Structure 1
Amino acid sequence: MMNIPKDQIMDDTQWQALIREVADLFNNLTIMRGFQYYKQKRVISINFNDAQAITAEVQGSESYEVVLRMQDLSTSYCTCPVNSPCKHMAAILMSYAEQQGRPVPALVNAHASTALKQTSKPAGSTSARAYSFSDVTEQEEAVQDNISSDGPQYSTIKERATELAGMDIVEWHELFRATLKRLGTGTATTGYIQEAADELYAIKPKMSVAMDQLFELHVQLYLMRYCIPPARNSITHTPVYLSYPAQLAVDSLQKGIETLLLQSLDLSGLKGTAFEQVWARLEETSAYLRTEMLPETANMMFFSPVYSKLWLNWIVPWLQGKQAMLESELHLLNEAEAKIISPEGAAPGGEKNVRKGSLPLPLVLAQSWMYYHLEQDSSAWQKLVHGSSAYGIPPEHLLYFLHTLTDAAEWTRLSEWLVQLGPLLAGRRNAPLQDYMRLWDTAIQHVPDAEHRMWDTLVSMLPHSRPAYEDAMHSRGQWRRWIDFQLSTGTEPLEFRVAVLQPIEKDAPELLLPFYHQAVERYIAHKNRDGYKAAVKLLKRLSKIYKKMKREEPWEQFITALAVRNSRLRALQEELRKGKLIP
């Protein structure tokens, strides 16, 4: 509690009040960003004054001054551009808590802990908490009517669960909700979700392997739905973000779903009614995921990846070339697009919900995947290009198409997709481009004739593809192409590490001559000491290259002429002598 005045040391009541106030004023995203600043030690100083206020300085993109009024945090302010409680304020509050000897995670999890207290009510009381396993829809009333509070409830559920294979997915989820009713309302945390999963697995009857796989998938989908709030606030229509504990729970569920969907759906030995039941549940699962993913926003896509992997790994492999189901699904997606572009019941002359050309990203990706599976690649590219021009598609979604083709060993098709998707990755950071180039390397190993298309694509992506383009030329020993590119862009030789230029000096030293000579002239033209030193550094390299090429006489002629031509530049003459380039 260093430097804290006695009248500003919090007791337990004040600490709990601060946690509640943080939950009221700061959204989860701001709290997490503030926590990052706190961990990065960006809070430079904290000072306390007699007016129950804290003044502090936080280093962000620039230095910001913050005043926190502890009597009423809502009247605090920061000099940053944000006109509401910001990450700088949150970071200072965490540093303040640390100085008070209070647990910083309590502030980080302010929303979760506050919600948990709000839901700790006597049994039978009504909770306003959005996350509840006990909310009952009209469709579920029939299930709930016959369920009492304890023993009879569970026995009824267990008996009904024996019919799961013949029940549709909606009924599965109704039964899940009934099963979890006795858990009541709880905070979406990893521990609570694990407890809920245990309850659901306990009612699973003996079924076929494929039905077991579908049951496990829906347990995790149901729990993930529980953790995720609506994509947008129903009143303000602003984006909604997950709390930190909920994000951890969702991350765990996503990993489980991904692992499950990487396994093949085991339909072996299923015939007749058993096979038809599994296939019906698959179709219902696709419909469920379609419904859940369409409202998702680009920054909160949870069900969309599951939808694409379900089709890729569980449905398409069993279609055996039959396209009717794919075409039917595409038709449903296109109908969804039509409703979004021209919503029924829109007031005449009123604004449409979504502008044409700005379709939801999950819908664009789903349509593209259907075209992919139908091998209508041109239509898939058109969708992706159109979607990218509207809002930019995150690179991981584009790269997933390419990795899928790689896994399928469709090399010619992969090279075509690399050409088409490359420009959509332009402007991305290095990691996606590095992955993209590794995929090109793999494609060229199997289709060598595709290499010229790689070069054309990289050139079309300039200047964004410059690092990848340079690395590709360098790794393939395309020295003339590499030098020509550097000369055309006016790059300085001294910008490169020696290790980059050494292979060229070894394999094709003559190509470096114009690169170095032009740079020497530019450095001298600066007419300052730093320029002269840089010129001499390059001249020494030139001297070694001429010597290696056994062209000492042209070198002597050049260096003599250079010294004579610039004889009035005394500083240059001094640097040339220091470098032992002239007597």
Structure 2
Amino acid sequence: MSSFPVLNDEQWLKLLEQVAQSFNEVTLSRGFNYFKQQRVASLIISENRVVQARVTGSEDYSVKLYLDKFMSNICTCPVRTSCKHLAAVIMELADRLGYPASQIVNANFHLKRVTSKSSPESQLKQLPDMDTMGWHKFLNQYTAHVKPSYDQGTYTNLLRYELQNIRKGSISFSANDLIFFELHQELFIARKIKEYASQGNVNYFTSNALYRMYDEIQAWVHQKSAQIDFTLAKERIKQTLSYIRQQLAKETDQKYLDYGLYTALWNYWIAPYPDAHEWISQEINEIEQQTPDSISSSLSAAKAFLYLNQSKSLDAWDALEASGTLNKAPTRLFLPFLNHLSAASDWDHLIDWLLKTATYFYGHRTKDLDTYLGYWKEAVAHVPEAEKQLWIVLEEMLPHSAQIIDEMLYEQRQWKPWLEMQIFKGQDPFYHRVSVLQPIEKEAPALLLPYYHQAIEHYVSLKNRHDYKLAVKLLKRLDKVYKKMKQTERWERFFTGFIDRHSRLRALQEELKKGKLLE
């Protein structure tokens, strides 16, 4: 791309006008998807202000964009002009020149906003003096033109692109306020996605996107914790807690997304400070006053979490039971409780909660189940007698815990039950890498004998050349095990009997010779 200026602000507005006149919303939305997917493979601008580009898709198409003769634009696709490929190229050009691609997608609205005296842009300087609810009203107005898409990923990207146009560097935010404004931008996007999903426009991908979004926000809250000056941020924290409480009151789907964020905010931005305990009673009162008659399950969970922060473990569990929150509760509801007890080294109460919540983790192996078992292992390391209870829980989780039991037996070097489990599952020595069996061969070689013997007889019984080769490989390993045990005579007796039993299997005899087990 050439280094000379291609567009000034006046020419940019002219380009927006031409886009608004030539493209419909559907085409611009499809073009935005192509732009986001980086389908514009190459882009060159000549000195006569003609843009030549190549766009990849089901086929590759060449695009010519005439900045001074917009109506002459052409693409080699069947549509020829005003197509998604041209739209993607215009957005790519804009992005490279420092102009927001999202303004191309919403060209009509942006033009109206530029000419409107009541433009949200005029409110930017007022943002530092607004409370967080004022921020959300502003963000609503600022993104009013962004229309929801069935593709929630596209809708999220459009919102995020539009909000990136807010030049925060020109706003007199304090360091703390800038962090809080960025947080509320993400909370705003999450709320918009949830509101659209609540209208029935939801599918697996929407739910997955929401979970991922909230996980990313929680990780961001953790990352920013070191930058928050609690003494200067108290008012913003109170406003943020108030906002999240409102979202908790609206949660009816038992996904506990805002609840997870609420607990993260407490853990990372409030709990580390000396006077945090004074906030807990106030926050419990706020929750009770918010919905005195009918408290939502998410608010009940938040209240229980606060009780746990007061070291009131029994009160916390009672609060969950009394509110009916435990009915069909997802596993993610309990992880903040378990995490808090673990961080507080409250092992007895942690074990109690692990036992109480065990049934909620029954089912197929998930990331949450692995986290739950991680807390068990931590508890057992400090309270060894609790291991019996852990094994009872794992047995009750069968068959879904079979792989977990397998891994734990191996980790604890309980070789005998581990090998019995392999035989029971029908997994022979070739299922494992040689390195997996090496510690057993070193520490308890005798335990490997039935494992190898059974597998050898199985492969021989299949009576084909390929399986004979596998049997010979296992025989060679078995020979090493007997030598390791210093029982060569026992090996010779077994091998002599083995040869006699299978003397008529000529192919096996040949493989034994190839393996140098027979001369």
Smaller-chain TM-score bracket: 0.5 to 0.7
* Counterpart residue number, 1:347: none
* Counterpart residue number, 2:481: 545
Correspondences of 1:308-347 after superposition (within 5 Å): 308-312=263-267, 313-314=269-270, 318=275, 320=277, 325=282, 328=285, 331=288, 338=294
* Counterpart residue number, 2:5: none
* Counterpart residue number, 2:73: none
* Counterpart residue number, 1:79: none
Match of 2:131 among 165, 172, 176: 172
SS of structure 2 residue aligned to 1:459? helix
Correspondences of 1:59-98 after superposition (within 5 Å): 70=79
* Counterpart residue number, 1:523: 459
Change (3 A) 1:21 1:565: same
Whether 1:238 and 2:229 are equivalent positions in the alignment is no
CA distance in 1, matches of 2:234, 2:90: 57
Whether 1:287 and 2:246 are equivalent positions in the alignment is no
After superposition, the C-alpha distances for 1:63-82 in whole angstroms (9 at most, x for unaligned) are: xxxxx9758999xxxxxxxx
CA distance in 1, matches of 2:139, 2:91: 35
Change (3 A) 1:467 1:126: farther
Change (3 A) 1:249 1:473: closer
* Counterpart residue number, 1:192: 164
* Counterpart residue number, 1:375: 313
TM-score (norm 1): 0.58
* Counterpart residue number, 2:261: 306
Match of 1:115 among 106, 127, 133: 106
Change (3 A) 1:427 1:327: same
Write the letter of the residue equivalent to 1:520: I
- Say what the alpha-carbon RMSD is for the aligned residues: 5.6
CA contact (8 A) 2:479 2:491 kept: yes
Whether 1:201 and 2:173 are equivalent positions in the alignment is yes
After superposition, the C-alpha distances for 1:382-414 in whole angstroms (9 at most, x for unaligned) are: 6776444xxx445xx654443333322223333
| Deviation of 1:110 (Å) | 7.6
Change (3 A) 1:578 1:439: same
Change (3 A) 1:216 1:332: farther
| Deviation of 1:44 (Å) | 10
SS of structure 1 residue aligned to 2:171? helix
CA contact (8 A) 2:249 2:295 kept: no
Change (3 A) 1:515 1:331: farther
Match of 1:459 among 395, 415, 437: 395
CA distance in 1, matches of 2:211, 2:419: 49
CA contact (8 A) 1:231 1:300 kept: no
- Structure 2, unaligned runs of 5 or more: 1-15, 42-55, 62-76, 146-158
* Counterpart residue number, 1:143: none
CA distance in 1, matches of 2:90, 2:393: 57
| Deviation of 1:188 (Å) | 4.0
Change (3 A) 1:482 1:311: same
CA distance in 2, matches of 1:482, 1:580: 32
| Deviation of 1:46 (Å) | 3.8
Q: Percent identity?
A: 28
Q: How many residue pairs are counted as aligned between the two chains?
A: 445
Change (3 A) 1:177 1:412: closer
SS of structure 2 residue aligned to 1:464? coil
Correspondences of 1:339-358 after superposition (within 5 Å): none
Correspondences of 1:97-496 after superposition (within 5 Å): 103=92, 113-115=104-106, 118-121=109-112, 123=114, 125=116, 133=120, 161=129, 172-173=131-132, 176=135, 188-189=160-161, 192=164, 195-196=167-168, 199=171, 201=173, 218-228=180-190, 229-233=192-196, 236-239=199-202, 257-261=221-225, 266=230, 285-295=240-250, 303-312=258-267, 313-314=269-270, 318=275, 320=277, 325=282, 328=285, 331=288, 338=294, 362=298, 365-366=301-302, 369-370=305-306, 372-373=308-309, 374-376=312-314, 378-379=317-318, 386-388=327-329, 392-393=330-331, 398-421=334-357, 424-425=360-361, 435-436=371-372, 438-496=374-432
CA distance in 2, matches of 1:233, 1:415: 40
Question: Which segment is superposed worse, 427-436 or 559-568?
Answer: 427-436
Write the letter of the residue equivalent to 1:223: Q
CA distance in 2, matches of 1:191, 1:265: 25
CA distance in 1, matches of 2:262, 2:486: 66
Write the letter of the residue equivalent to 1:406: S
More helix, by proportion: 2
TM-score (norm 2): 0.64
Change (3 A) 1:296 1:236: same
- Structure 1, unaligned runs of 5 or more: 1-11, 49-67, 75-92, 135-148, 162-170, 203-211, 269-276, 341-358
Write the letter of the residue equivalent to 1:375: S
SS of structure 2 residue aligned to 1:555? helix
* Counterpart residue number, 1:56: none
CA contact (8 A) 1:509 1:545 kept: yes
* Counterpart residue number, 2:70: none
CA contact (8 A) 1:289 1:307 kept: yes
